[in-house]
Structure formats: structure tokens, C-alpha cells
């Protein structure tokens, strides 16, 4: 057996680097009993370097290519063309020619063959490279086949293949190509079979596309295909397309496109029996490879042949469960306003904090709500708590209608518990909690004292003691987060807001009245943080030398350099004071591994400079006071209008009491998260000292490597002073893969992503729908920003982004409207938008793609839609 050429039967699983992803999969497919694969062989990756490694011109061009970036399209095009030309002109090594000729004589050199590329970085679990290299069909004769082997080698350097490698971090010199030579099948029909539905990701729904002739017509988009869906052995959906064209092989070689006879154009490509037979073959292949597959098939003489199978790389992974029951998972990221993947240390911090039944998938956390969906009361509670997001509520309603989770016999005790929360009257607020502002200040004081005590005590801990100490302290954190009084405070405020919105609409026809009433409330730690950065700008504004210095600094030690400048001391003091109070925050802060402002103070410099440029002195206090006045005027206006109604004095009195609950308590909604993030940062600083010790001991390469370990694994590494290098590099690769995935709001244990829809009754046809969370209508320039550090916001812009958590708040003082892809009525962005009086629409699917940076848009914060002007 020559290592230059291997038949499909001679390959084994370890030979990816010899035969490439496509070749390896064909080798595996040909071993599955009952699966027909047209016979063939692979010119291995040994042949390609043998042909070009001594070529000086090739190596020089490759060197030039390596120095380019994906944006350098013109240069890429020119260099790639020259490389392809060299490869086409190079002589194929004689031993490769000999081996190819030998295998062709075995299989029959009079037959037609498909000649297809198979790169070593192709059809991998994390990068499909689909369509990057070339395929040639119906090639007849040894000379023609050898010529097309050269063409396949050259296709490693098409512009699209080169750019794809650059974007995915693959080294051009490390990607080799093998070439598949496979007996042609001349099919009556062909197509693609997905063993999981590529649209909804449902692993139980199998999807088949089928058309007449060769599959190339379908892959190249030349024809429409029939579409069939099969679930659990039954055809559940069929769409028959009009198929006007098909590609067929010519007798003398090559292919031609033909018109299909009009009588045949609308006939079903496969019979019912064939559809079900193909579905069974798909399930057999999926079971063999152990993951959902994208399979190319063809049908000739009533026999199905499989010509390729590759993993589907775009499916979101299913959260792990250790049983075969039905489960429903709701994304934590959509509740926490951070849908990026979280590194393992960050995940384990969150898991140590929460009491909810959490599952991991794709670097994100999901709550398994199946147990709660199994009882009537649980269902009602879920629809009430998650129902403020119509996309989640709609998904839950679909799941309930399908009876995906069966109801358990009713539990009387739970039923009565649920009944007591129904219908919120103002009297029930009073029963829950007195309207006493000192409740909030006492909760905050006790939390602050506890954090100060933690800072003192943790300084004496190190090594294994530190890990035990932190585990112990997580109890304190949980005690505070789940303190019934703390929860009652903000639940009361949220119920009070709902009551106001409902009653003011019913009594006065006034929509979302609570939005204005929530402006500039006391004790909102997050909105205070945005205003406090305006105060920092006030300190720096009188010193032009400092401003100029800040415009040009690049390094995080810029604070030391301030001391040489006039106003430097004052600037340093103001920034340190700000970081002292808010430096534990950052964008995506629920992931403890994200860089905090205290760790990278440069992050806040552009925002400070923006505030100096856009605002007059004392803007923070003026903004707060303006919002407070607007809230008080709105309260007065509502009370006066209510008094004119029948029974008006009673209504006004009740409303005034509920408004005071909102004003006193809604600001506290943001505090528990601040306390959690403050504690996280204290833990992190102590743990990073341990990481430094591990770097010095040579156990890890850089201290950030510990981010890719769970808390328990980190503890073990400190205990044993040992770590397998592979773990970190494998987790880094996984994280890069997770970054490319979009997490669903709701996913089932079948892997199906279910989503609701927004009602469109009052929305213009062209408008983009979302959830209204902060009233008002505003027009302005859209700034589409995906990372806070890239923000270039001018006063009056409208921020359009995937999500905003508290770390984004300093930008809110400059914007006049907000649009996000993620969010609900009580998530961070909504709360702060209301407090600052910014019209906001959240939960807008694909907002950052549908709205272009710089477009003028109109945001309807009361009705919940955006118009592109």
C-alpha cells in the first residue's frame, strides 16, 4: 500500500492529515454496512508538497501571502492567481502518476470519474470550509484525471479559499490538499439530506432537498428543489418545486445543463417510499458518526448512493441532560443581558451563585424549566415572569400547545400558593412591604459592610485556604441575593409599575405612564455610575494639557504619567475615586473573566473625553434634576386628571401611594447585581495572585489560562501543581467556536429552537418590530456598536447593539435612544433607559444587521418599533 494513494477501503480514522476531511468521511462511509458509496481512491496530501516544495517562486509568493490581511483583496487576488498558475504548470511526480494509473486500472480506466478536492482543514466539526475547493465531474481517461488533480491542488489558492483561511485563523502553509477520484454515478435524481432541520435545529426533524439530474445544479443554486421533512419515520411536510433545468453528464465527458420536459417539471422527484428509505439511511449514517450530518446523495437505477457526509457545524448544541425525558431550556444570557459565551471559570462562578437548575451548552447557561412547566401553577408563574418578552412567551405557548411537557396531577398546595399572587391591588403592595425608604438604604449599608469585611479577610488567605474561603463566602453572596426582603423590595416596585401602567391606561387612556415616573429615582447604583462619569469630566475640563494627554495615551499605566501635568493630581484622584466605586464593572460583567475597568482603566478614557466634548459643566446634576422634575410633573398631572373622574379622590389617593412605591424602590432593582459583581471582583483579584504563582512555577503559560478552568479544576491545579497543556488549548478552540454561535432564547431537548413573534397590528409594514420598554419617539443617527470599547458616540446618537448590561451605562448619558437585540421590560437596558428618559425598543431580532451604522432611524419607544428613514 503506497502512502501516496489510498483506496476508500484502505483508509482509517487516524489519517485526516493524509486524506483530508472529505476523503476521511468517504472512507468511513464505505465501511457502514448497507450504505452504497461509489468506489474510489484518494491522492493523499503527500503528493501535493512533493510537487511544489522545491519551487522557489511558489515559496516566495506564499511568504508574501502570509503577510496580508483578509481586507487586502486586490493583492490576495494577484498573488493567489500566480500561485495557481505555478501549481498548474508543475509536473506531477512520477510515483504519484504511477500510483494513480495503478488504481484506475483496478477500478476501470474506461469509466467516468468525479475529481474532488479534500483539504486537511475541511469538513471539520468546527469549520466546514464548504465550497472552498473545486470539484470536477465526468472526467474520462488517465491524462484528463491527472490534469484535474493539478486543478484541485491549484483550487487551494482560489481567492475565496485564501480569505476563508485568513478569517478562520488557518495557516496557508499548514493546509494540505488531497484529491478524491471517485466513480461517477449518473443519477436520475440527487440532493442533500440534513439529519437535523437546518432552520429550527430540531434534531428529530430530518430535511431532504431533491432535484433531477446531478446534485451540482442544486448546490450551485441553479434550480429549486423539492423539500421533504420526515419526523420519526413519517413524512410531515412536502413542498414540490417547479424544476425547469437539470445538469447531466455527457458521453464524451464533462456536463451539460438541459431543460426538463414541461410535463415532468412539477412532478415529485422522489416517491414516498424513496423519501422514507433515504431518511432511514440518513439516521444510520448519523448514528455511525455520532452527530447530525449534512449528506450528499444520488439515486441511480433505484439505488441510493452516498457521495459525502459532513457534520452540520451551525447547530446550537443541546444543553446536557442525563435522561431521555423532554426538557425545555431558557437562555440565562437573555435575562442577564449578555449573550456572549462565558469562559469556564465564569460559568462556574455563576453556577456557584445561583439556585436555579442550570445546564451548559455552547459556552452559555440555560435554565431547565421543564419541572415548572409540568404543573398549572408553574406554567402560570413562568408565563408571568418570562412573559414580558413576547419572543419567549410565544415559544412557551407553542410548547404548551404541543403538549411537549405533560402536566402532572395538580398539586393543591402549590395551586393555593399561586392563587395568592393573582391580581395586584395597591392594598396588596401595602401588605407586602411598607413604603419606607430606609428599607433600601439599610439593605445597601449592610451589603457594603459585608463587602468591606470580605476585602479585609481575604487578604490573609492563599493557596487551598483561599479556595475554601471563597466557597464559604459564596454562601454570604447567595444569602444577600436571595434575601426575601431584598426580593420583596424590587418585586413591589415592579408590581407597582405594572399596576400604574394598567390603571392609568384603563382610567385615563395613558400608555406606559410608569416610564416617566421612574426617571431619576434615588439609590440606582447603575444610573448614578453614568452620571458620576460626567462629574469626572467636570474635574478634567479646566485642564487642556490633561485633555490633550488623554487623547494620545495608549497604555493602562497612563494614570502615573498624569502627575507631571497641570491638573494631573486632580484628574488622577477623580479617576481613582470613580474606579474605587465602579471599577469592578465592565461590558459582559457576569463573566468574571472579562477585563474590569480597574484592570484596564483605558476603557473609560474615550467616554470621559466624549463627555468633555458633548456636555457643559455640571451636566450630571442637571440631567438628574431634569428627570426628577419631569417625574414629579407627570405625577401631579395624573393625580389632577384622576380627581376629575367619578370616585376620583379615592383613585388619586391610591395612585399616589403606588407612585411612592415606584419612586422609593425601583432604583434598588440594579443594586443586587452590583453587590454580586463587587464580590466577584474581590474573589478574582485574590485568585489571579494564585494564577501568577502557577505561571512562576511553570504550570501555566499566562495567568489568563486559568479562565479556561472551572473553579474546581483551578483548585486541583493549585493542590497538585500539575496541568495537562492540552486542556487549555482545547478549551480555547472551543471558546472560539462558541463565539460564532448565536444562542437561542428557548431550545428543547430535541434541539429545536422555538421563538414567538411580535404582534404587528399597529406597526407600519416596513417597520422593524421589538418590545417597547421606555416611552417616547426619537429620531437620530444609528450607531451600530458590537463592543463597548469601539464606541464612538456623539451626543444625540441612537445606540443599536446586541445587548447592554450595566457596563454600557456610561454611554447612556450621550445617547438619545436605545435599540437592542436582547432584553425585556425589567432587564438592565430597559430600567436605565426609563430612568434617563430615553425611548427604547429591545428584543429586536437581528437589529445590528437590519440597521446600518450611520442610518437615520426613528425609534417608537411607546409602540415598540423602529423605522429606517
User: At a CB cut-off of 8 Å and minimum separation 6, what does 726 contact?
Assistant: none
3-state secondary structure 638-667: HHHHHHCCCCHHHHHHHHHHHHHHHHHHHH
Q: Where are the alpha helices (DSSP H) in 376-461?
A: 376-386, 390-401, 412-419, 426-432, 438-458
C-alpha span between 373 and 382 (Å, rounded)? 8
C-alpha span between 293 and 195 (Å, rounded)? 6
Quick one: cell of 710? 472551572
Return the SS3 of 857. Answer: strand
Quick one: cell of 694? 502557577
C-alpha span between 278 and 283 (Å, rounded)? 9
CB 851 within 8 A of CB 768: yes
Q: Which of 215, 218, 394 is nearest to 299 (CA)?
A: 215
CB 770 within 8 A of CB 866: yes
Residue tagged 474615550 (cell numbers):
606
* Pairing of the two strands 189-194 and 205-212: antiparallel
Q: For residue 464, how far is the Cα from the chain centroid?
A: 35
Report the 10 Å Cβ neighbour count for 556. 14
Give the DSSP H or E segment for 726: helix 725-739
User: At a CB cut-off of 8 Å and minimum separation 6, what does 594 contact?
Assistant: 346, 586, 587, 588
C-alpha span between 39 and 27 (Å, rounded)? 10
Give the DSSP H or E segment for 41: strand 40-43
Quick one: cell of 378? 408553574
Active site residue 148: no
Report the 10 Å Cβ neighbour count for 381. 18
Q: Which of 623, 657, 620, 621 is nearest to 638 (CA)?
A: 657
Q: What would you report as the CA-atom Rg of the chain, rounded to the nearest whole angstrom?
A: 32
Return the SS3 of 574. Answer: helix
Quick one: cell of 607? 467616554
C-alpha span between 166 and 157 (Å, rounded)? 12
C-alpha span between 819 and 204 (Å, rounded)? 35
∠ CA 391-397-400, nearest 5°, is 145
User: CA quadruple 188, 191, 193, 199: dihedral positive or negative?
Assistant: negative
Q: Which of 832, 827, 802, 828 is nearest to 817 (CA)?
A: 832
C-alpha span between 593 and 729 (Å, rounded)? 17
Q: In Å, how far are 127, 142, 407, 771 from 331, measured between CA atoms?
A: 25, 56, 23, 18
C-alpha span between 98 and 439 (Å, rounded)? 87
CB 705 within 8 A of CB 294: no
C-alpha span between 184 and 144 (Å, rounded)? 14
* Pairing of the two strands 328-331 and 364-368: antiparallel
List 367's β-bridge partners, or say none: 330, 358
C-alpha span between 721 and 686 (Å, rounded)? 18
Residue tagged 488567605 (cell numbers):
461
List 135's β-bridge partners, or say none: 116
Active site residues: 828
Amino acid at each position: 500500500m503506497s502512502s501516496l494513494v489510498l483506496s476508500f477501503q484502505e483508509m482509517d480514522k487516524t489519517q485526516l492529515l493524509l486524506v483530508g476531511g472529505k476523503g476521511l468521511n468517504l472512507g468511513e462511509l464505505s465501511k457502514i454496512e448497507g450504505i452504497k458509496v461509489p468506489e474510489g481512491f484518494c491522492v493523499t496530501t503527500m503528493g501535493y508538497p512533493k510537487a511544489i516544495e522545491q519551487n522557489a517562486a511558489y515559496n516566495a509568493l506564499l511568504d508574501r501571502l502570509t503577510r496580508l490581511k483578509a481586507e487586502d483583496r486586490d493583492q490576495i487576488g494577484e498573488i493567489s492567481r500566480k500561485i495557481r498558475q505555478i501549481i498548474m504548470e508543475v509536473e506531477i511526480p512520477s510515483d504519484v502518476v504511477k500510483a494513480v494509473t495503478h488504481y484506475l486500472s483496478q477500478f476501470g480506466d474506461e469509466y467516468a470519474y468525479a475529481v474532488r478536492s479534500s483539504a486537511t482543514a475541511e469538513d471539520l466539526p468546527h469549520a466546514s470550509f464548504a465550497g472552498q475547493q473545486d470539484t470536477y465531474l465526468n472526467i474520462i481517461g488517465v491524462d484528463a484525471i491527472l490534469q484535474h488533480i493539478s486543478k484541485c491542488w491549484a483550487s487551494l489558492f482560489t481567492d475565496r479559499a485564501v480569505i476563508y483561511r485568513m478569517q478562520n485563523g488557518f495557516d496557508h502553509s499548514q493546509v494540505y490538499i488531497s484529491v478524491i477520484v471517485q466513480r461517477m454515478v449518473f443519477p436520475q435524481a440527487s440532493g442533500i439530506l440534513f439529519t437535523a432541520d437546518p432552520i429550527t435545529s430540531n434534531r428529530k426533524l430530518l430535511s431532504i432537498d431533491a432535484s433531477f439530474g446531478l446534485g451540482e445544479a442544486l448546490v450551485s443554486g441553479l434550480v429549486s428543489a423539492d423539500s421533504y421533512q420526515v419526523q420519526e419515520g413519517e413524512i410531515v411536510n412536502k413542498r414540490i418545486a417547479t424544476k425547469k433545468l437539470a445538469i447531466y453528464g455527457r458521453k464524451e465527458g464533462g456536463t451539460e445543463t438541459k431543460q426538463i420536459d414541461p410535463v415532468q417539471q412539477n412532478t415529485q422527484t422522489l416517491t414516498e417510499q424513496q423519501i422514507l428509505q433515504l431518511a432511514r439511511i440518513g439516521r444510520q449514517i448519523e448514528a455511525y458518526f455520532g452527530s447530525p450530518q449534512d449528506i450528499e446523495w444520488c439515486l441511480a437505477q433505484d439505488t441510493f448512493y452516498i457521495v459525502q457526509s459532513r457534520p452540520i457545524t451551525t447547530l446550537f448544541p443541546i444543553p446536557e441532560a442525563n435522561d431521555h425525558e423532554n426538557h425545555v431550556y431558557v437562555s440565562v444570557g437573555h435575562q442577564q443581558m449578555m449573550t456572549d459565551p462565558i469562559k469556564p471559570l465564569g460559568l462556574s462562578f455563576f453556577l456557584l451563585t445561583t439556585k436555579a437548575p442550570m445546564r451548559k451548552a455552547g459556552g452559555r447557561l440555560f435554565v431547565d424549566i421543564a419541572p415548572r412547566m409540568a404543573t398549572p401553577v408553574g406554567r402560570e408563574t413562568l408565563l408571568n415572569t418570562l412573559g414580558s418578552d413576547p419572543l419567549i412567551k410565544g415559544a412557551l405557548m407553542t410548547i404548551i400547545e404541543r403538549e411537549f411537557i405533560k402536566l402532572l396531577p395538580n398539586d393543591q398546595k402549590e395551586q393555593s400558593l399561586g392563587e395568592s399572587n393573582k391580581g395586584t391591588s395597591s392594598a396588596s403592595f401595602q401588605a407586602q412591604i411598607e413604603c419606607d425608604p430606609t428599607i433600601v438604604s439599610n439593605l445597601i449599608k449592610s451589603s457594603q459592610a459585608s463587602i468591606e469585611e470580605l476585602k479585609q479577610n481575604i487578604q490573609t488567605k492563599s493557596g487551598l485556604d483561599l479556595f475554601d474561603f471563597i466557597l464559604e463566602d459564596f454562601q454570604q453572596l447567595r444569602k444577600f441575593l436571595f434575601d426575601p426582603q431584598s426580593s420583596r423590595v424590587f418585586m413591589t416596585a415592579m408590581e407597582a409599575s405594572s399596576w400604574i401602567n394598567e390603571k392609568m391606561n384603563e382610567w385615563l387612556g395613558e400608555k406606559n405612564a410608569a416610564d416617566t415616573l421612574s426617571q431619576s429615582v434615588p439609590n440606582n447604583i447603575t444610573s448614578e455610575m453614568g452620571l458620576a462619569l460626567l462629574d469626572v469630566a467636570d474635574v478634567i475640563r479646566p485642564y487642556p494639557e490633561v485633555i490633550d494627554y488623554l487623547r494620545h495615551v495608549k497604555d493602562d499605566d497612563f494614570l502615573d504619567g498624569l502627575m507631571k501635568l497641570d491638573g494631573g493630581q486632580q484628574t488622577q484622584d477623580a479617576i481613582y475615586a470613580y474606579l474605587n466605586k465602579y471599577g469592578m464593572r465592565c461590558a459582559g460583567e457576569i463573566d468574571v473573566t472579562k477585563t474590569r475597568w480597574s484592570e484596564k482603566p483605558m476603557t473609560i478614557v474615550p467616554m470621559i473625553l466624549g463627555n468633555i466634548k458633548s456636555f457643559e459643566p455640571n451636566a450630571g446634576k442637571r440631567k438628574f434634576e431634569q428627570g426628577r422634575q419631569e417625574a414629579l410633573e407627570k405625577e401631579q398631572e395624573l393625580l389632577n386628571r384622576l380627581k376629575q373622574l367619578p370616585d376620583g379622590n379615592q383613585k388619586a389617593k391610591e395612585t399616589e401611594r403606588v407612585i411612592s412605591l415606584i419612586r422609593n424602590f425601583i432604583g434598588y432593582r440594579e443594586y443586587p447585581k452590583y453587590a454580586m459583581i463587587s464580590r466577584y471582583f474581590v474573589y478574582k483579584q485574590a485568585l489571579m495572585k494564585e494564577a501568577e504563582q502557577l505561571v512562576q512555577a511553570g504550570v501555566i503559560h499566562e495567568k489568563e489560562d486559568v479562565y479556561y478552568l472551572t473553579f474546581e479544576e483551578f483548585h486541583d491545579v493549585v493542590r497538585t501543581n500539575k496541568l495537562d497543556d492540552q486542556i487549555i488549548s482545547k478549551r480555547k478552540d472551543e471558546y472560539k467556536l462558541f463565539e460564532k454561535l448565536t444562542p437561542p432564547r428557548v431550545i428543547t431537548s430535541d434541539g429545536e429552537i422555538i421563538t414567538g413573534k411580535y404582534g404587528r397590528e399597529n406597526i407600519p409594514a416596513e417597520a422593524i418590530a421589538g418590545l417597547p420598554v421606555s416611552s417616547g419617539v426619537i429620531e437620530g443617527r444609528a450607531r451600530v456598536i458590537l463592543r463597548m470599547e469601539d464606541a464612538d458616540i456623539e451626543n444625540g446618537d441612537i445606540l443599536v447593539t446586541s445587548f447592554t448590561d450595566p457596563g454600557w451605562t456610561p454611554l447612556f448619558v450621550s445617547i438619545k435612544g436605545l435599540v437592542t437585540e436582547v432584553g425585556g421590560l425589567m432587564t438592565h437596558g430597559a430600567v436605565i433607559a426609563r430612568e434617563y428618559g430615553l425611548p427604547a425598543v429591545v428584543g429586536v431580532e437581528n437589529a445590528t444587521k437590519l440597521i446600518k451604522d450611520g442610518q437615520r432611524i426613528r425609534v417608537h419607544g411607546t409602540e415598540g418599533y423602529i423605522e429606517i428613514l
